[in-house]
A and B are shown apart, each in its own frame.
Chain A
Amino acid sequence: MRRPVSNRGPVKVINRQHSNNARSPKRKWNALDPSCCHPFADQDRTQRASQQEKSIQHSHETIVIKDSCDIEVSTTEIQAVVNLQVAIQAAIALVISISIADDDKAELVTQELTTSIKSSQFNRQDLYIENSRNVNVTTQDTDIAINAQLLLLVLIAILFRLDIL
């Protein structure tokens, strides 16, 4: 009589552990499991993710030269342009943070100004030269350069309002 009772104990523990895991947000969402929290149910996280996505820019450049001679390729240093853009963004954040008393509002304003400027998220350039002679190629990442220019205009507009320029 006592044995079945003692067997029921561990079974209960296992069930409880299972239900705890189902509520955990890290667990993969399962449509057939009613205890699973839908990924879109957490609105705050979705908003945060979309804002983070906006601040990421990708640039990829591939150059392949095969069986060729006298080839001249000049490219814009994408990383240098991206660094410049990040520097301007940092300057905007700095100026706003020291000129607005409310830290939370300063962060919101900076985020809104920098995210609304970005015109492109992803750039890819592939250059393939095969069996060629005397070829000159110049590649540019115009989108990123434009972003840097626009961000600089934002910085200048803010500095004008602060009587710095």
Chain B
Amino acid sequence: MAKYDEINQASKKLIDMLVDSTLRKHDVKLEADKIDQDTKEELRELVQELQKSVQALTEKQKD
């Protein structure tokens, strides 16, 4: 389990690096103020639903 968490952490770091380097490469910045509060709330709900779906899939595979 500890090993699984380590791999998970490594994947997260890798993804962070990928996102940062891609944004830097194209010389762009994500502008938080361009998104209004309602859209932010909708996106939060959307990502939670997607997280649940992926989690359900992962648990199904563990079984």
Contacts and interface: CB of A to CB of B under 8 A. Distances in A.
Interface of A: 76, 81, 84, 87-88, 91, 95-96, 98-102, 105-106, 108-109, 112-113, 116-117, 140, 142, 145, 148-150, 152-159, 161-165
B16 A157 contact: yes
B30 A150 contact: no
Contacts, number: 101
Contact of B43 (A100, A140, A164): A164
B15 A81 contact: no
17 contacts: A84-B54, A91-B47, A95-B43, A101-B34, A112-B25, A117-B18, A152-B47, A152-B50, A152-B54, A153-B15, A156-B47, A162-B30, A162-B32, A164-B44, A164-B47, A165-B44, A165-B47
Contact of A149 (B18, B26, B30, B58): B58
Query: SS class of chain A's interface: helix, strand, loop or mixed?
Result: helix
B1 interface: no
Interface residues of B, number: 32
Top 10 A-B residue pairs of the complex, sorted by shortest distance between their CB atoms: A153-B15, A99-B30, A162-B32, A157-B19, A105-B28, A163-B32, A161-B30, A164-B40, A105-B26, A152-B54
